[in-house]
């Protein structure tokens, strides 16, 4: 080899070496970034998905009746906890007792901060379909697609989609709402226990009850806080849901908002009480629509976000 050949040889070998190193480094970097991408949890969906909420109604009804003490009642609590934790919420159980019955309210939060907003629904269903037109069904349990499952479904989809920098929100799932006029029971046992025993003072409480009716008409509920009610109905109107959120009063309800109102905490009940299948065996998922759930969920999503960021 002459000097020129040595230089050429060195140039070629070092060139090849650099190429090998470069290829190796590049493949490593590519692999590394692919790994990073996959190791991130799926990004939170940005918009309230009515179809997913509707699937959650079906899932709950498939568990069977969720009346206190039933198998379905235990099942739904485990399932709600799993769904909430999957969406990044911490879950606590507020255990109590009313009229000799154990009460389990589920509380979901994203931080230890006290809530400025509470969004809530009852997860239990009524023991008896005593409003059914056929008296033979009066001893059957209510499937609760609308009366129970719809509110829970909206809360769970909000858990998945609300940005994590809103002002502190608690999602509360009340037990034992729906057994008034049954011996040994009463209405709203879970929310009464909560208001008495959990020391919170939120600016706003919103109750969701029977919000999934395919033929949805949400009139003002007459006991609700008028300012809060106006804010939410205005939000709905701006989003194009003015036909569904109707700005005239209709029913006065005793519901999970009542104990909060009695304590001077502004609360609203979002409820469509004109539901022909209320407390019948026909309260099934075919009476509920994804679009109704979406309109309610989307309204609350915007209302919460617009209340301020942390």
x-marked contacts with Zn ion along 89-128 as a string, rule CB under 5 A: ----------------------------------------
Identify which of residues 178 and 225 has a Cβ nearer to Zn ion in the complex. Answer: 178
Q: Please give the span between the terminal C-alpha atoms of the chain, in angstroms, as a whole number.
A: 74
256 contacts Zn ion (rule: CB under 5 A): no
Q: Which of residues 25-64 bind Zn ion (CB under 5 A)?
A: none
Among 178, 221, 225, 256, the residue binding Zn ion under the rule CB under 5 A is 178
- Residues 269 and 201 sit within 8 Å (Cβ to Cβ): no
x-marked contacts with Zn ion along 123-152 as a string, rule CB under 5 A: ------------------------x-----
Q: How far is the CB of 138 from Zn ion (least distance, A)?
A: 15
157 contacts Zn ion (rule: CB under 5 A): no
What is the C-alpha to C-alpha distance for residues 60 and 46, in angstroms, rounded to an integer? 24
272 contacts Zn ion (rule: CB under 5 A): no
- Residues 251 and 271 sit within 8 Å (Cβ to Cβ): yes
Q: What is the Cα Rg of the chain in Å?
A: 26
Q: How far is the CB of 57 from Zn ion (least distance, A)?
A: 15
Phi, psi of 258 (to 5 degrees): -55, -50
Stretch binding Zn ion (CB under 5 A), from 92-100, 173-181, 186-194, 237-245: 173-181
175 contacts Zn ion (rule: CB under 5 A): no
The residues, ordered by sequence, that sit 6+ positions from 176 with a Cβ below 8 Å of its Cβ are 68, 98, 101, 103, 122, 124, 185, 188, 189, 190
Identify which of residues 56 and 147 has a Cβ nearer to Zn ion in the complex. Answer: 147
- Residues 116 and 204 sit within 8 Å (Cβ to Cβ): yes
Stretch binding Zn ion (CB under 5 A), from 106-114, 176-184, 282-290, 292-300: 176-184
Identify which of residues 147 and 225 has a Cβ nearer to Zn ion in the complex. Answer: 147
Phi, psi of 227 (to 5 degrees): -65, -50
What is the C-alpha to C-alpha distance for residues 58 and 145, in angstroms, rounded to an integer? 7
Contacts with Zn ion, residue ranges (CB under 5 A): 147, 178
């Amino acid at each position: 080899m002459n000097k020129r050949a040595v230089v050429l040889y060195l140039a070629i070998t070092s060139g090849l070496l650099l190429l090998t190193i470069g290829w190796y480094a590049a493949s490593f970097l590519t692999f590394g970034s692919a790994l990073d991408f996959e190791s991130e949890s799926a990004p939170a969906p940005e918009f309230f998905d009515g179809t997913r909420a509707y699937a959650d109604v079906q899932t709950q009804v498939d568990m069977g009746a969720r009346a206190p003490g039933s198998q379905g009642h235990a099942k739904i609590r485990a399932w709600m906890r799993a769904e909430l934790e999957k969406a990044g919420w911490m879950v606590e159980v507020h255990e109590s007792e009313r009229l000799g019955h154990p009460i389990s309210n589920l509380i979901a939060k994203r931080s230890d901060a006290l809530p400025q907003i509470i969004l809530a629904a009852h997860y239990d269903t009524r023991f008896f379909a005593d409003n059914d037109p056929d008296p033979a069904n009066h001893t059957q349990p209510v499937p609760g697609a609308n009366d129970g499952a719809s509110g829970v479904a909206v809360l769970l989809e909000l858990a998945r989609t609300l940005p994590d920098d809103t002002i502190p929100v608690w999602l509360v799932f009340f037990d034992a709402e729906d057994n008034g006029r049954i011996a040994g029971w009463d209405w709203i046992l879970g929310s009464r226990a909560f208001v008495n025993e959990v020391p919170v003072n939120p600016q706003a409480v919103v109750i969701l009850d029977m919000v999934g009716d395919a033929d949805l008409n949400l009139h003002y509920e007459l006991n609700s806080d008028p300012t809060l009610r106006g804010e939410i109905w205005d939000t709905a109107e701006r989003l194009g849901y003015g036909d569904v959120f109707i700005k005239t009063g209709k029913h006065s309800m005793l519901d999970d908002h009542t104990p909060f109102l009695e304590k001077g905490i502004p609360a609203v009940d979002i409820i469509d009480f004109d539901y022909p299948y209320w407390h019948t065996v026909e309260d099934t998922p075919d009476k509920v629509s994804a679009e109704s759930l979406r309109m309610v969920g989307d309204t609350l999503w915007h209302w919460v976000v617009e209340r301020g960021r942390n």
